[in-house]
Structure 1
Amino acid sequence: MAETNDPRLMNEQPRIHPTAQLKGVKLGKYAEVGERVILRDVTVGDFSYLERHSEGIYADIGRFCSIAANVRINALEHPMERLTMHKVSYRPNEYFRFQGIDNGFRARRQAKRVRIGHDVWIGHGAVIMPAVEIGHGAVIGANAVVTRSVEPYMIVAGSPARMIRPRFPQAIATRLLELAWWDWPLDSIFEAIPDIQSLSIEDFLAKWEGHRPGS
């Protein structure tokens, strides 16, 4: 987003709880990381937040995402094809001298990044498995285990997660994807907030499609 000195805006710096643990993390403007959140090699887009005790590794999170407490993004994969699934096979250095980390297994994990679109809501205790992609505007129900990619504006829940229903009819979802409001400059989002609060989705689209930023 473009830089702005608009006095209506709060401090754009990310808010990070002092108990959070971050390594190799890139946070966008206004992003928020809650109590005891653990992130490794994760990007977090502008305005997205993670509530307490959530964890993520090897993941890219879009803008305006709402991630509840105790969510696990890119849950650990164990090598089931090996003699043992225990970490002694891929992190033997924790038990034996002169044994290094299995870099091949680490590379395998890194290759299975999770990609989360913009304006995604992930409910309390959900688990997102490796290599899953979650489309813009999707909803992941509480305690869901997401093993497959999720289409934009789809609501899924359960273990394993299955489709419950779309948030909006397909025609509306397509228009929202074209609107891409999450890419608007901040002053336009500020201006749109009263309409977001008061208009139906159809009326909002009818008003803003015609004079959206850049149109």
Structure 2
Amino acid sequence: MPVSFLDATSSYPMQFPDGRVNPGLVHLNRVIDHPNIEIGDFTYASSFDPPTDWAVRLAPYTYAGAPERLRIGRFCQIADRVRIITASANHPMAGFSTYPFAIFDHDRLADYMDQISDLLDTVIGHDVWLGDGVTVLPGARIGAGVIAGAGSVLHGEVPDYAVVAGNPARVIRMRFPPDQIARLLDLRWWDWPIEAIARATPALARADLDALERLAPG
């Protein structure tokens, strides 16, 4: 059955020209059901070796009931081998040893509770492109429209519409001038009704901000 354009309900939204569905590209919120992971519509991940458990592939240290959450916005594009390391991956570091004694004997958790409570959420904004092999470190806050080059290691605050690369990732350039970024953030096109987004794809592709503003739902 053909997959509709901008069909948020489809687990496998991409077709090859011959009509075959691409099993290596998935809408993440259709294949991940995890109490600590929130993912917006149309955000996809791709893999040349598709896993049976996309949550484990993408965020292996995020366990159900962890003290932190992973939040990913709408229309994000996540390439192969991306790894999101959330805060529960960290070992307690305030003591003399970082050895995680408590994971082998839960009665010892009380010794570490002040270090493993109130962990920072990891947040990825809307329309973010994480290139092949990107690593996102615990507590990162990645703004809308960010492009992260292949192999980048992201941490801390990444500003909206920045292009970043390297380990640690640094801002290479901003995609648009500050006034245009402000207008884009005000438009929040990713929250528009799907019919409006479909009409706006030419303006999005051409970076025609005036046309995009004219197309904004009233």
Question: What TM-score, normalized to structure 1?
Answer: 0.72
Relative distance call for 1:71 and 1:212 in structure 2 (3 A) is same
Aligned pairs for 1:36-51 within 5 A: 41-51=36-46
Which residue among 142, 154, 169 is the counterpart of 1:134?
142
Q: Over aligned residue pairs, what C-alpha RMSD do you find?
A: 3.1
Which residue pairs with 1:153 in the alignment? 161
1:104 correspondence with 2:113: yes
| Structure 1 residue identity aligned to 2:75 | F
Cα distance in structure 2, aligned partners of 1:71 and 1:33 = 16
Amino acid at match of 2:91: H
Cα 1:191–1:157, aligned 2, differ >3 Å: closer, same or farther?
same
Greater helix share, structure number:
2
Mapping 1:32-181, distance limit 5 Å: 32=28, 41-52=36-47, 53-55=57-59, 57=62, 58-75=69-86, 76-87=89-100, 89-93=101-105, 99=107, 104=113, 107-108=116-117, 111-181=119-189
Q: CA deviation at 1:100?
A: 6.3
Q: Distance in 2 between matches of 1:162 and 1:38?
A: 33
What TM-score results when the alignment is normalised by the length of structure 2? 0.71
Unaligned regions of 5+ residues in structure 1, if any?
Answer: 1-6, 17-29
Match of residue 214 from structure 2: 210
SS at match of 1:187: helix
CA offset digits 1:51-82 (Å, max 9, x no partner): 34432632100000111122222342122223
Give secondary structure in 1 for the equivalent of 2:158. Answer: coil
Q: Looking at secondary structure, tell me which structure has more strand per residue.
A: 1
Equivalent residue number for residue 20 of structure 2: none
Contact 2:37-2:70 at 8 Å conserved across structures: yes
Change (3 A) 1:211 1:10: closer
Q: Percent identity between the aligned chains?
A: 33
Change (3 A) 1:10 1:62: closer
